[in-house]
């Protein structure tokens, strides 16, 4: 308790001293005893001192993550699209493999695990339409960020089609294991 009271007294004394219109100016060690390294002089006598009312700070510039740059200084770049093509190609190829294995498994009596919009035994066309909708939904954020010239979010949202492809690779492997049970270790 004594330490807290002492801290409060010292801090209130320090803040009380800060309200005076005086500035501290350093002196050299050779000019006096060690206790006089700093001397108190009026602020008006210090030429480099500026009052806070003299400062001209420009207002902060507000930039939103969804705003387009006015001067279009950030290029969209065709290299980004060339990088995007293999990502979407991977998603489409893995989806095609999953559809092929699923349709072959349906002929053996298996049913669809993800029956959203297609039912328990869909055709290949129904599976392709559903997965095309899912692929479109997973690629839309990255395409939107490409149009808005936001490269970090473009690359971040590019993970959507990759995850889509990985999930369909897992489905294709599961379908292959169902179709070929004798080849499993």
101-142 tens-digit pLDDT: 999 999 988 888 888 889 898 999 999 999 999 999 999 999
For the chain, give the percent of residues with pLDDT over 70.
Answer: 58
Mean pLDDT of the chain: 76
How do residues 62-97 score in pLDDT, each as one tens digit? 656 555 555 566 677 788 888 899 999 999 999 999
CA distance 175 to 102: 6
77: left (phi over 0), alpha (psi -120 to 50) or beta: left
pLDDT band per the 50, 70, 90 thresholds, residue 98: very high
List residues bridging with 59 in a β-sheet: none
Distance of CA 129 to the CA centre of its chain: 31
Contacts with 41 (C-beta within 8 Å, 6 or more apart), sequence order: 22, 23, 25
pLDDT band per the 50, 70, 90 thresholds, residue 152: confident
pLDDT of residue 147: 87
- Of 2, 183, 13, 170, the closest CA to residue 101 belongs to 170
pLDDT of residue 161: 96
pLDDT band per the 50, 70, 90 thresholds, residue 100: very high
Dihedral in degrees, nearest 10, Cα atoms 37, 41, 46, 52: 110
pLDDT of residue 163: 96
CA distance 153 to 52: 40
Has residue 22 got a pLDDT over 50? Answer: no
């Amino acid at each position: 308790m004594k330490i807290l009271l002492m801290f409060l007294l010292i801090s209130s004394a320090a803040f009380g001293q800060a309200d005076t219109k005086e500035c501290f100016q350093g002196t050299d060690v050779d000019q006096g005893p060690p206790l006089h390294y700093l001397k108190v002089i009026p602020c008006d006598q210090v030429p480099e001192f500026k009052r806070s009312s003299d400062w001209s700070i420009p207002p902060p510039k507000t930039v939103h993550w969804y705003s387009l740059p006015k001067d279009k200084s950030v290029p969209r770049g065709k290299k980004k699209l060339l990088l995007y093509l293999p990502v979407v190609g991977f998603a489409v190829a893995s989806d095609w493999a999953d559809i092929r294995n699923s349709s072959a498994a349906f002929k053996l009596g298996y049913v669809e695990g993800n029956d959203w919009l297609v039912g328990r035994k869909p055709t290949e066309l129904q599976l392709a339409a559903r997965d095309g909708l899912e692929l479109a939904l997973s690629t839309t954020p990255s395409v939107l960020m490409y149009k808005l010239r936001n490269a970090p979010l473009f690359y971040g949202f590019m993970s959507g089609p990759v995850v889509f492809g990985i999930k369909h690779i897992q489905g294709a492997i599961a379908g292959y294991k169902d179709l070929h049970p004798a080849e499993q270790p």
